[in-house]
Amino acid sequence: MSRRGLLKFLDRMSSKSAARYLTYSVAVAFFFALILIPPILGILLKLNQVGRVFEDSSLQSRALAAVSASFEIALFVSLVDVVAGLPLAWFIARGKSRWLNALDTFVDIPFILPTVALGYSLLLFWSKQGGVSSLFGASLVSPGWLLVILLHFVFSFPIIVRVMVGALLDYHIVYEEASRTLGAHALTADRTVTLSILKPSLVSSFILAFARSISETGATLMVAGVFENGPVFISHARDENLGEGPLVFVSSILIAVSFMIFAVITVLGPRLKLPTKKVWPSFERRLSSSNIAISRDTITLVIFFLIVLLPSLFVALPAVNAISSGTLSQALSGTGIWKGYWQSLILSYFVGALATLLNTLIGLPMAVLIARKRAGTRSSTILDVLVNIPLIVPSIALGVSMKFFWSNFAFIPEIVLLIFAHISITYPYFVRAMASAIERISMDLEEASRILGARPFTLFRTIILPLTKYSLFAGALLVFTRSVDETGATKAVVSTLKTAPVLLVSWVNPGGTPTATAFEIGLGIGFLVILSFAVLLVMRLVVRGKERRY
């Protein structure tokens, strides 16, 4: 069938309610069968194993300490993110300098870098010879909880800044102006009006940062040393062959508590009263003065450059040295450890591409379903909530649970499990990006298109898709980078296959001696980073310009 014939056929089909029903049903069925049910059932089926942990009190206290460390760090880091990120977001959104565009791009760097690259970069910067530690003659920050906190701050910080810059740009500044003309000083206006109105964005960015911190595994492993949080404990427990008990124990607590925290923030967040009632005019006038504002901006920028940006980019140093030392030619010839490296890299990108493709195909109908409430208001809202679950569940716990479930079907090869896990973890990123983009398109446009004679498929092809192109690519890009970056679930699901980040963690071999030289690790990470940027660049070229609002 020709392309035209196919389009015509799809167009005719889309008018039939049966075809539409089928499309949506397949999308929903896929979501439940592959993404939602396996991780939930998997852990439930193994709950009886938990008992073993209680027999060994030292194991039990180790596990509990790890779990509570996870939540403490996530909570602490997300709070610090807000405190440090809000002024930077303000600075970017409100400033007038032409350098702000560059700053805005810099903010994204820790977000785009694979987290294992970040982890290794921070490790080099803070604690290895050649980093800032050389200045002090000793390791400034040794692997351990402090380095884990620094790491989590670095990769979750851009989330807050990104979300809040977007929210501030969308915000109608007239409310702030109204507040000023009524006698409020700048700080009072920000506090009583702007922040109150932007509270939903603040809450959702907090949740995202929190979830990301709870979930991260690969980089945390690199910098944790003997310190354990939840994901590190699970990873160690697998390496030490402690059996299923501890895995189930920690995973189920991580999942359950994450849920609870998510629910509490979702319910209480909107009711949270920011400190708006009381006003101290003379004190706030002083805090609003331009001197204070300038020192605040300076501190913010210094923190960003010294704590976030510089340590993130430090890995470039060994990577560059590796090129001059001859490691590059070894790497390109693919001998020694490089053979495995290239295989892992191919595996990572293959799995990433496949997960992106499948999630795009199956996520699109789901996004329409949610955005346009095609399944009725209540069911659509429920779906909207359910879709977010993989976001808040720590990915290694999700992987552990999926592994339990799918091991009942022994005939499924490991590579398929790996793809399932990656689809599951990345699914929400695409659906959320698309659903909110579709929601922003006015219904009037759809109605106008229908009245002019477009059938549903044509409507989608000629109106919805062109208008959401940017979000579609942004969503796909998120899925892809998240998949290539993923360590926790990968470690949990497969035992023989090694994706690039898993391999790199094993090179660094935290807790033991590295299995590769510093140059090799640096170069290995360098390739990963360069490829990530290349993918990003290609995507940017494909989708020129930003999505406009209609």
Partner 1 sequence: MPEVKVENVTKKFGEGKIVAVENVSLQIKDKEYFSLLGPSGCGKTTLLRLIAGLVQPDEGNIYIDGKLVNDVPPEDRGVGFVFQTYALFPHMDVWGNVTYGPRVKAWDTQQSNKIGREMLEMVRLYERSKAFPQELSGGMMQRVAVARALSAGAKLLLLDEPLGALDAKIRLELRYDIRKLVKDLELTAIHVTHDQSEAMAISDRIAVMRKGKILQVGTPQELYMNPREIFVANFVGESNFFEGYVESVNEMGSVLELRGKLHLRVLDKNKGLGEKVVLAIRPEAFELKKGHKKVENAIFGHIERLRFEGTNIRYEVRLENEDLVVVTRPTLAGEWLDVDEKVTVSFPPDKSFVFTYPSKGLREELMAE
Under the rule (CB under 8 A), what is the footprint of partner 1?
Answer: 172, 174-175, 177-186, 188-189, 192-193, 196-197, 279-281
Q: Please give the structure tokens belonging to residue 211.
A: 């979830």
Q: Enter the DSSP assignment of 534.
A: H
d(CA 525, CA 521): 6
CB of 283 to partner 1, least distance (A): 10
CB of 98 to partner 1, least distance (A): 9
Q: Which is nearer to partner 1, 44 or 203 (CB)?
A: 203
* Among candidate residues 372, 506, 527, 347, the one with its CA nearest the CA of residue 434: 372
Q: Which is nearer to partner 1, 228 or 284 (CB)?
A: 284
Q: Which is nearer to partner 1, 192 or 424 (CB)?
A: 192
Q: Which is nearer to partner 1, 95 or 281 (CB)?
A: 281
CB of 35 to partner 1, least distance (A): 36
CB of 93 to partner 1, least distance (A): 17
Q: Which is nearer to partner 1, 279 or 531 (CB)?
A: 279
CB of 290 to partner 1, least distance (A): 10
Q: Which is nearer to partner 1, 54 or 280 (CB)?
A: 280
The number of CA neighbours under 13 Å toward the Cβ of 2 is 3
d(CA 61, CA 515): 31
Q: Which is nearer to partner 1, 178 or 530 (CB)?
A: 178
Question: What is the distance of C-alpha 97 from the center of its chain?
Answer: 29
CB of 198 to partner 1, least distance (A): 10
CB of 176 to partner 1, least distance (A): 9
CB of 167 to partner 1, least distance (A): 14
Residue 449 phi, psi (nearest 5): -65, -40
d(CA 299, CA 303): 6
Cβ pair 307, 104 in contact under 8 A: no
∠ CA(59), CA(63), CA(67), 5° rounding? 170
**Quick one: angle between helices 377-387 and 337-371, nearest 10?**
160
Cβ pair 476, 202 in contact under 8 A: no
Q: Which is nearer to partner 1, 37 or 178 (CB)?
A: 178
Cβ pair 431, 409 in contact under 8 A: no
Name 328's Cβ contacts closer than 8 Å, sequence gap at least 6: 322, 523
